[in-house]
Amino acid sequence: MTDIIQLLPDHVANQIAAGEVVQRPASVVKELVENAIDAGSANIQVVIKDAGKTLIQVVDDGKGMSLTDARMCFERHATSKIKTAEDLFSLQTKGFRGEALASIAAISHVELKTKQEDEEVGTQIKVEGSKVANQDVCVCPKGTSVSVKNLFYNIPARRNFLKSDAVETRHIIDEFQRVALAHPQITFSLFHNGGELFQLPETNHRQRITNIFGGKTNEKLVPVTEETEIVEISGFVGKPEFAKKSRGEQFFFVNNRFIKSPYLNHAVVAAFEGLLKDKSYPSYFLFLKVDPKSIDINIHPTKTEIKFDDEHALYAILRSAIKHSLGQFNVAPVLDFDRDSNLDTPYDYKNRSAEVPQVEVDRNFNPFQEENARTHKSKSSSNSLSSNFKRERGESWESLYAGLQSEDSPKPDSDFREIEFESEEVTGNLFQSPEDSQEKSTFQLHKKYIVSTLKSGILVIDQHRAHTRILYEEMLKNITVSAAVSQQLLFPLNLQFNTHEIEILKQLQDSLEQTGFVFSEVKGNSVEIVGIPTLISESEVEILLEQLIADFENDVPDNGFSQTDLLAKSLAKGMAVKSGTLLNNTEQQHIVNRLFACKEPGLSPSNRSVFVTLTVDELDKKFM
CB neighbour list of residue 435: distance below 8 Å, 6 or more residues apart: none
- pLDDT at residue 84 in the model: 64
| Nearest CA among 59, 48, 11 for reference residue 26 | 48
Q: Which of 109-123, 212-226, 264-278, 374-388 has the lowest mean pLDDT?
A: 374-388
| Nearest CA among 65, 63, 36 for reference residue 125 | 65
The pLDDT tens digits of the residues spanning 273-321 come to: 888 887 788 899 999 998 888 877 766 666 677 778 888 899 999 999 9
Residues 60, 569: Cα–Cα separation, whole Å: 44
Residues 215, 209: Cα–Cα separation, whole Å: 9
Query: Is residue 296 within 8 Å of residue 306, measured between CB atoms?
Result: yes
For residue 162, the SS3 value is coil
Label residue 124 by pLDDT band (50, 70, 90).
very high
Query: Is residue 58 within 8 Å of residue 45, measured between CB atoms?
Result: yes
Residues 20, 14: Cα–Cα separation, whole Å: 10
pLDDT at residue 385 tops 60: no
pLDDT exceeding 70 applies to what percent of the chain? 78
Q: Could you give the residue ranges of the DSSP H alpha helices within 201-300?
A: 205-213, 262-271
For the residues 445-471, what does the mean pLDDT come to?
Answer: 89
Query: Is residue 464 within 8 Å of residue 179, measured between CB atoms?
Result: no
The type of residue at 565 is D
Instruction: For residue 190, list its beta bridge partners.
Output: 46, 198
For the residues 471-484, what does the mean pLDDT come to?
Answer: 77
Q: Could you give the residue ranges of the DSSP H alpha helices within 39-132?
A: 67-72, 100-106
Q: How many CB atoms lie within 10 A of CB 438?
A: 6
The type of residue at 199 is Q
Q: Which of 54-58, 250-254, 479-483, 525-529 has the lowest mean pLDDT?
A: 479-483
pLDDT at residue 444 tops 50: yes
The pLDDT tens digits of the residues spanning 588-620 come to: 888 988 898 888 888 888 888 999 988 888 888
Query: Is residue 280 within 8 Å of residue 243, measured between CB atoms?
Result: yes
pLDDT at residue 47 tops 90: yes
pLDDT at residue 59 tops 60: yes
- pLDDT at residue 176 in the model: 93
Query: Is residue 522 within 8 Å of residue 509, measured between CB atoms?
Result: yes
Residues 444, 588: Cα–Cα separation, whole Å: 8
pLDDT at residue 407 tops 80: no
The pLDDT tens digits of the residues spanning 526-580 come to: 888 888 887 778 888 888 888 888 777 766 555 555 677 888 888 888 888 888 8
pLDDT at residue 341 tops 80: no
404-416: burial string, b at 16+ Cβ within 10 Å, e else: eeeeeeeeeeeee
In whole angstroms, how far apart are CA 97 and each of 129, 290, 301? 20, 21, 9
For the residues 174-191, what does the mean pLDDT come to?
Answer: 93
Q: How far apart are the first and last CA of the chain?
A: 76
Domains by residue range for the chain, with CATH: 10-200 (3.30.565.10), 236-328 (3.30.230.10), 443-613 (3.30.1370.100)
- pLDDT at residue 374 in the model: 60
- pLDDT at residue 73 in the model: 84
Label residue 165 by pLDDT band (50, 70, 90).
confident
- What count of Cα atoms within 13 Å lies in the side-chain half-sphere of residue 140? 24
Q: How many CB atoms lie within 10 A of CB 103?
A: 27
What is the rounded average pLDDT for all residues in the chain? Answer: 80
- pLDDT at residue 425 in the model: 52
- pLDDT at residue 335 in the model: 57
For the residues 420-447, what does the mean pLDDT come to?
Answer: 58
The pLDDT tens digits of the residues spanning 358-382 come to: 888 888 877 777 666 566 555 555 5
In the DSSP assignment, the letter for residue 297 is -
